[in-house]
Amino acid sequence: MKEFNINTLVRKNILELQPYISFRDNNEFENPVLLDANESPFGELNRYPDSTQKELKQKLSEIKNISASQIAVGNGSDELIDLIIKVFCEPKKDSILMMNPSFAMYGFYASINENKVIKLDLNENFEIVKDDFLTISNDFKSKIFFLCSPNNPTGNSIEDIEFYIQNFKGIVVVDEAYIEFSGKKSCTELLDKYPNLIVLQTFSKAWGMAGTRVGIAYSSQEIIKLINTVKAPYNVNSLSLNKIVEIISKQEVVNSNIKNTLNEIAWLKNEFQSVKCIKKIYPTDANFFLIEFENVEKIYEKLLENEILTSKRSPQIPNCIRINVGNREENTQLIQVLKQCQTL
């Protein structure tokens, strides 16, 4: 990129903001007597969690080969999306750019912050049209472009991501919530090349830890420092931090779970071929399918009657339902009910 000064994009009041710093967490002690934080001296979880998440960042630094100073930890990726918007977007003045359709929470948090949401419509294959991107990004000059790949709810990966990072004059956030299922390279490999890049990942999907609500942002030291400036002091609880550190040490279990999910994706895709009410199965790099049905409303209701919960995307994506890949028992139930729908 050409010369890039992050301070020209950051809200002025954020640049002047002093972060909350826990003296305890930013210093080393051997046997401290903790009388600084008004905690109870009694109880199983009586101490605040580490506000800097040092242990988790160090573990991630080792497996990702990224400096711990380039890692921010959030209460789910949702919190990080919210914080990124707060850092860069002036309320009632700035806008964000997002793909359409894509993950709704980008627009949700922008709207809460009173920022305009500009939507970049994808083509019939849910791909970005580069000329449309160049036109809309130039016309609106949005501060942030949220690029979800693999995209939710469509399931496809976005090709040539570097083009969008190079040609956007603000911050590009690549949300890689489903990257482990795709076989694609992570954009974390591009961090040293592009100072306007933020990569989001999560422990909620492939890692099977949605209940812990832990998301990760990787970026330059300057951007991570800004995110840490505006985050709540103890934004991730001790139970979640401990569970994530534990699962990181069991990578073989995670790899096995990913392999099992990929096997179920292949099994389901094959089974879908014999379901007559299915009109189209969109290609997926994620742990879900976007499927176009005949009589989509009746099929969705039939699934609900059988207590099979799915995500109806119609009317935004006409006649489509997003279906998460389950285990073999759940997937078998799904196929059985869908085959019953063939006469609807």
Domains 6-249 and 252-343 share a fold: no
CATH of domain 6-249: 3.40.640.10
296 exposure class (CB count in 10 Å sphere: 0-12, 13-18, 19+)? buried
What is residue 28's predicted lDDT score, i.e. its pLDDT? 87
Q: Which of 297, 294, 257, 300 is nearest to 278 (CA)?
A: 294
For the chain, the domains span 6-249, 252-343
Q: What is the pLDDT of residue 343?
A: 65
Amino acid code (one letter) for 92: K
CATH class label, 252-343: alpha beta
Tokens describing residue 252: 């073989």
Q: 136 with 86: CB under 8 angstroms?
A: no
State the Cα–Cα distance between residues 60 and 248, nearest whole angstrom: 8
Cα gap 43→208, rounded to integer Å: 29
pLDDT value at residue 2 = 54
**H-run or E-run covering 80:** helix 76-88
Cross-strand partners of 98: 119, 146
Widest distance between CA atoms in the chain = 71
> DSSP string covering 103-115, please?
-THHHHHHHHTT-
Per-residue tokens: 235: 């934004």
Q: Residue 121's beta-bridge partner residues?
A: 100
- Within 10 Å of residue 274's Cβ, how many Cβ atoms? 11
Give alpha helix (H) positions in 218-250: 221-230, 238-248
Sign of CA dihedral 148, 151, 152, 153: positive
276: helix, strand or coil: coil
CA distance 7 to 272: 51
- For residue 177, the model assigns a pLDDT of 98
pLDDT of residue 139: 92
d(CA 217, CA 121): 26
E strands, 92-183, are 95-100, 116-121, 144-148, 171-175
Which 3 state secondary structure label does DSSP give 82? Answer: helix
Please name the amino acid found at residue 298.
K
> How confident is the model at residue 3, as a pLDDT?
67
Exposure class string for 196-220: b at 16+ Cβ within 10 A, else e: bbbbbbbbbbbbebeebbbbbbbbb
What whole-number distance in Å separates Cα of residue 47 and Cα of residue 39?
Answer: 6
pLDDT at 19: 87
pLDDT in tens, the chain (344 residues): 456 889 999 999 999 998 888 888 888 898 999 989 999 999 999 999 999 999 999 999 999 999 999 999 999 999 999 999 999 999 999 999 999 999 999 999 999 999 999 999 999 999 999 999 999 999 999 999 999 999 999 999 999 999 999 999 999 999 999 999 999 999 999 999 999 999 999 999 999 999 999 999 999 999 999 999 999 999 999 999 999 999 999 999 999 999 999 999 999 999 999 999 999 999 999 999 999 999 999 999 999 999 999 999 999 999 999 999 999 999 999 999 999 987 66
List, in sequence order, the alpha helices (H) in 287-342: 296-305, 328-340
